[in-house]
Amino acid sequence: MATHKGSRLGNILTWVVIIIAVCWAAFPFYWAIITSFKTPSVILSKPSLIPFLQFTPTLANWKAEFTNRLPEIARALRNSLILSVGATTIAVFLGTLAGYGLARFQYRRWKNSSMATWFLSQRFLPPVVTIIPFFLVMQALKLTDSLLALILANATFTLPFTVLIMRDVFKDLPIEMEESAYVDGASHWQAFWHIALPLSAPAIAAADLLTACIDGVSDTAKAARLRAASADVRDEQGALALGEVAVGVVQIGGGGQAGAVVAHGRRPPSVTFGHLGIASCTPSYKPPVGRSGPSSSLPSSP
């Protein structure tokens, strides 16, 4: 009887912890959604969490987003999709090959453990120190202000993560299956393509998803996106952030929150949570008189 009560109490505590964790993780999304239905006066007055009881919802912010910024939002979402797919594809493709090489071959001058440590060290590299070198390289290649430059930058900083994941995946696969293929006359590439790759397909899919998440929250990715001068290249993160800049003043309102919900609705939860910090400003900035073009979206300080 005591064991049954202890098990029941443990189940109750487990569910309590799960409910608290779910509420903790879901609250930023709930806050973003309800804020998009608030007026600026309601946002600035007092915290209000329950619609219709503490405040009256309004669709004005959503109408303003879809009426005034629909072409910009559509273009930014398209660019974001291209960036995510392109960077993830490059990182997973190269990471899978590099991971297989580290797992199946032994190198002499530079040992496998040293190369794995070097890849791991790239995750600790402060992204801000690479901005100027990346700019100089892209300028020399004449790729500035292009989607390809952003794809290469994002893929570079997600590649180490993919390499380490795939190395461990291939190390866990039984090498005897590939050795049997070698006995039958298969080459290393054939063993990789016909045996190791199909067996690791679930892990590749998981690495693809995790790489896309890391690409979305990467500080380097955000820095590159915010510095995309052309509106044709800017993705939804840059469009949101640059649209929320005012001349010396940040205006609080629900319009930016509506734009954030629209922009981040397609991203995984971890990515969305990382960008909710920019979602409380209105995209109401207009370039000053005499300034036009893409570069005017970042006004100089007065």
Express each pLDDT in 120-163 by its tens digit.
Answer: 888 788 877 888 888 898 889 888 888 888 888 888 888 998 99
For 42, 65, 128, 144, the CA distances from 37, given in Å and listed in that order, are: 10, 12, 36, 38
Residues 297 and 185 in one domain: no
What count of residues does the chain have?
302
Q: Is residue 74 part of a domain?
A: no
Q: Is residue 84 part of a domain?
A: yes
Give me the pLDDT at residue 286, please.
40
Residues 213 and 138 in one domain: yes
Pair 155, 211: CB distance under 8 Å: no
More confident of the two residues 260 and 116: 116
Residues 100 and 123 in one domain: yes
Residues 95 and 187 in one domain: yes
Give me the pLDDT at residue 261, please.
57
Res 179 pLDDT > 60: yes
Q: Is residue 230 part of a domain?
A: no
Q: How far is it, in rounded angstroms, from Cα 83 to Cα 77?
A: 10
Q: Is residue 1 part of a domain?
A: no
% of the chain exceeding 90 in pLDDT? 26
Task: Please say which residue of 225, 256, 280 terminates a domain.
Answer: 225
Q: Is residue 233 part of a domain?
A: no
Pair 249, 226: CB distance under 8 Å: no
Report the candidate in 24, 23, 49 with the shortest Cα–Cα distance to residue 35.
Answer: 49
Mean pLDDT, range 275-286, rounded to an integer = 34
Residues 84 and 221 in one domain: yes
Task: Please say which residue of 190, 225, 260 terminates a domain.
Answer: 225
Mean pLDDT, range 176-180, rounded to an integer = 92
Q: What is this structure's pTM? A: 0.65
pLDDT tens-digit map of 189-202: 999 999 999 999 99
Q: Is residue 11 part of a domain?
A: no
Q: Which domain CATH number covers 139?
A: 1.10.3720.10
Backbone angles phi, psi at 281, to 5 degrees: -120, 150
The most confident of 116-120, 210-214, 235-239, by mean pLDDT = 116-120
Res 75 pLDDT > 50: yes
For 262, which DSSP code? H
Residues 184 and 99 in one domain: yes
Would you state the structure tokens that stand for residue 129, as one six-digit string? 């120190």
Q: How far is it, in rounded angstroms, from Cα 38 to Cα 58?
A: 6
Residues 53 and 135 in one domain: no
Would you tell me how many other CB atoms lie within 10 Å of the CB of residue 37?
A: 20
Residues 186 and 271 in one domain: no
pLDDT tens-digit map of 40-62: 888 888 778 888 888 888 888 88
Residues 112 and 192 in one domain: yes
Q: Which residue has the tokens 């995984």?
A: 268
Residues 50 and 169 in one domain: no
Q: How far is it, in rounded angstroms, from Cα 267 to Cα 212?
A: 9
Residues 256 and 220 in one domain: no
Mean pLDDT, all residues of the chain: 75
% of the chain exceeding 70 in pLDDT? 69
Q: Is residue 64 part of a domain?
A: yes
Q: How far is it, in rounded angstroms, from Cα 282 to Cα 261?
A: 13
Pair 43, 35: CB distance under 8 Å: yes
Give me the pLDDT at residue 96, please.
95
Q: Is residue 169 part of a domain?
A: yes
Q: Tell me the pLDDT band of 267, cut-offs 50, 70 and 90.
A: very low
Angle between helices 147-172 and 131-140 in degrees, nearest 10:
120
**How many domains does the structure of the chain reveal?**
2
Would you state the structure tokens that stand for residue 143, as one six-digit string? 């790729």
What phi-psi label fits residue 248: left (phi over 0), alpha (psi between -120 and 50 degrees) or beta?
Answer: left
Res 258 pLDDT > 50: yes
Task: Please say which residue of 161, 191, 225 terminates a domain.
Answer: 225
Residues 102 and 148 in one domain: yes
* CA within 13 Å, CB half, 183: 6
Structural domain that includes position 92: 79-225
Res 287 pLDDT > 70: no
